[in-house]
C-alpha cells in the first residue's frame, strides 16, 4: 500500500505528519511512502532526508492524493476548515485519512466529509487507555505547548525567572501560577521550575495534587466541589462553580508575576477563569499566557492570536502553539501516527478491526456515514444503521461504540520527589 504525506495548508502550520525517522517502521508494514515536495521543510526535514529514508518525492499534490491509499496529515477537515476543503474533495471511496480533524467543534461538518465515502480517523478521539498513550497526539502536542508557554512568558516578563545573588544585590525569583495540571500544565510547571521560578498550580481535580508537588510546585487548594469526571478528566461545571472559583483565585493571582492557563474543553468554549478584576490586581509588567485562546480563552481579556497589554499586564493568546517548535512537534506526532498505523495495517493491508479500542474510538466516517457514536450524538444524527460495504478497509465488523466522554490530554508519569507546601483557600 501507499501512504501519502502532503504539505500542510493550514495558515502558519509548520509541522509535517511523518518524519524520515518513521519510514523504516512503515516499510516493515509493507508500505511505500509518498511525500509532497517541501512537506517537511519548515520542520527541518528536507526532501533529500526523505529520499535517503526510502520515500518517493511527489511534486504534484493532486497526483499524491490519487496514488495514495492512505493520507497522513497534521490538520484536516474541521481542523483546517478553509484550505482543507480542497483536500477533502480529492478523497475517494475506501481511501483512508488519518489526521487531527477536530470533529467535536463542528460535528455536522463531518457528515459532509462522510459523503466522500472515505474512512476518516480523528486522532484527537484516541481513547484514554494505557495502550493508547503512545498514540495520544493531544498529550504530545500539549507537552510542546506547556514548554513553549513558559518561554513566551519569560521573553515578555521584565525580570528574570531565577533568584540571583550578585554583587549588585539579590534578585528575587519570578512567581508563576499555572492553572490546570494536565499535560500542558505539568510541563509548564516543570519548565518554570527549571528556569528557577517559584511555582504554584491549581486544578479542579484534587487527585493531581501529588503530581504537582512531585515537580516541586505548591498546590493551591480551594474549598470547592470536585470537578473530576469519568476517567480522570476535568468535567465541565456550572457557572456558580466558576464564579466561586474566580473569587477564591483572585487572592492568588494578585501575587503572581506570570499566570499560565491551560483549561480547554474539547469542542466547547473555554471557561473564563481569569477576570478583568484579576488582571487589574496583578503586578505591573506581569504576564498571562492563555493556552486556551483557540477556544475563546481562560482570560476575559484574551484576544486569540494577539499579544495585548491591559492594566499594565501583557496578555498572550497564542494559536497553534505547538507549530512554533515544528521539529520536535513533528517528531512526536509522527511517532504517534506510526504506532497507530502499526495497529491499522496488517500484512501490507489496512484492516479495520473494530474490536481494537484505538481503531473503533478514532474512526469517524466509514461507508458514507458518521460512525463515531459521540460525534453522531453531537451532530443530532439517529442510531447508526450499518450499510453492507465491502472494501479492503471495511471487513465485516460490528459498529464502533460511542465514546464515553470527550478526549483530553493524559497526565504523564512523574518522578518521585519530596512533597512541598500546600496553599488552602476558602471563603472564610
- Residues tagged active-site: 128, 133, 136, 139, 233
Question: Nearest Cα to 240, choosing from 224, 253, 228?
Answer: 224
C-alpha to C-alpha distance for 352 and 392, rounded to whole angstroms: 9
Sign of the alpha-carbon dihedral angle for 135, 138, 142, 144: positive
DSSP 92-145: -TT-EEEEE--TTT-HHHHHHHHTT--EEEEGGG---SGGGGGG-HHHHHHHHH
C-alpha to C-alpha distance for 314 and 65, rounded to whole angstroms: 44
**Region of residue 231 (left: phi > 0; alpha: psi -120 to 50; beta: else):** left
Q: How many CB atoms lie within 10 A of CB 81?
A: 15
C-alpha to C-alpha distance for 182 and 208, rounded to whole angstroms: 8
Sign of the alpha-carbon dihedral angle for 379, 384, 385, 386: positive
Helix (H) or strand (E) holding 310: strand 307-310
Question: Nearest Cα to 315, choosing from 276, 345, 353?
Answer: 276
Distances (CA, A) of 267 to 88, 126, 158, 164, 375: 21, 15, 36, 44, 10
Gyration radius of the chain's alpha carbons: 23
Amino acid at each position: 500500500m501507499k501512504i501519502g504525506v502532503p504539505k500542510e495548508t493550514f495558515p502558519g502550520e509548520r509541522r509535517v505528519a511523518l518524519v524520515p525517522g518513521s519510514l523504516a517502521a512503515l516499510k516493515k508494514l509493507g508500505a511505500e511512502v509518498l511525500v509532497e515536495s517541501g512537506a517537511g521543510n519548515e520542520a527541518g526535514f528536507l526532501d533529500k532526508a526523505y529520499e535517503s529514508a526510502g520515500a518517493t518525492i511527489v511534486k504534484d499534490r493532486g497526483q499524491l492524493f490519487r496514488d495514495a491509499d492512505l493520507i497522513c496529515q497534521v490538520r484536516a477537515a474541521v481542523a483546517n476548515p478553509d484550505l482543507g476543503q480542497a483536500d477533502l474533495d480529492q478523497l475517494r471511496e475506501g481511501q483512508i485519512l488519518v489526521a487531527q480533524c477536530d470533529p467535536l467543534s463542528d460535528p455536522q461538518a463531518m457528515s459532509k466529509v462522510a459523503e466522500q465515502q472515505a474512512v476518516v480517523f480523528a486522532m484527537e478521539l484516541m481513547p484514554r487507555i494505557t495502550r493508547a498513550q503512545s498514540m495520544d497526539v493531544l498529550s504530545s502536542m500539549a507537552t510542546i505547548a506547556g514548554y513553549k508557554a513558559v518561554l513566551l512568558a519569560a521573553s515578555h516578563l521584565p525580570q528574570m525567572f531565577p533568584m540571583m545573588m550578585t554583587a549588585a544585590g539579590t534578585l528575587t525569583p519570578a512567581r508563576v501560577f499555572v492553572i490546570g495540571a494536565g499535560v500542558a500544565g505539568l510541563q509548564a510547571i516543570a519548565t518554570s521550575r527549571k528556569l528557577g521560578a517559584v511555582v504554584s498550580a491549581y486544578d479542579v481535580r484534587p487527585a493531581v495534587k501529588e503530581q504537582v508537588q512531585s515537580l516541586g510546585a505548591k498546590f493551591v487548594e480551594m474549598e470547592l466541589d470536585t470537578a473530576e469526571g469519568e476517567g480522570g478528566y476535568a468535567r465541565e461545571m456550572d457557572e456558580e462553580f466558576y464564579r466561586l472559583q474566580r473569587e477564591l483565585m483572585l487572592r492568588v493571582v494578585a501575587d503572581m508575576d506570570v499566570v499560565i492557563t491551560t483549561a480547554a474543553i474539547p469542542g466547547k468554549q473555554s471557561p473564563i477563569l481569569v477576570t478583568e478584576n484579576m488582571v487589574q490586581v496583578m503586578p505591573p509588567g506581569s504576564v498571562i499566557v492563555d493556552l486556551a485562546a483557540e477556544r475563546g480563552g481562560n482570560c476575559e481579556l484574551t484576544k486569540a492570536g494577539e499579544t495585548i497589554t491591559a492594566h499594565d499586564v501583557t496578555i498572550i493568546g497564542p494559536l497553534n502553539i505547538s507549530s512554533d517548535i515544528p521539529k520536535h512537534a513533528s517528531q512526536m506526532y509522527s511517532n504517534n501516527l506510526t504506532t497507530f498505523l502499526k495497529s491499522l495495517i496488517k500484512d501490507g493491508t489496512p484492516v479495520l478491526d473494530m474490536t481494537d479500542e484505538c481503531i473503533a474510538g478514532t474512526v469517524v466516517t466509514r461507508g458514507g456515514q458518521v460512525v463515531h457514536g459521540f460525534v453522531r450524538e453531537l451532530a443530532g444524527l439517529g442510531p447508526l444503521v450499518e450499510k453492507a460495504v465491502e472494501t479492503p478497509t471495511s471487513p465485516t465488523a460490528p459498529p464502533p461504540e460511542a465514546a464515553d466522554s470527550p478526549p483530553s490530554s493524559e497526565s504523564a508519569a512523574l518522578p518521585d520527589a519530596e512533597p512541598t507546601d500546600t496553599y488552602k483557600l476558602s471563603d472564610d
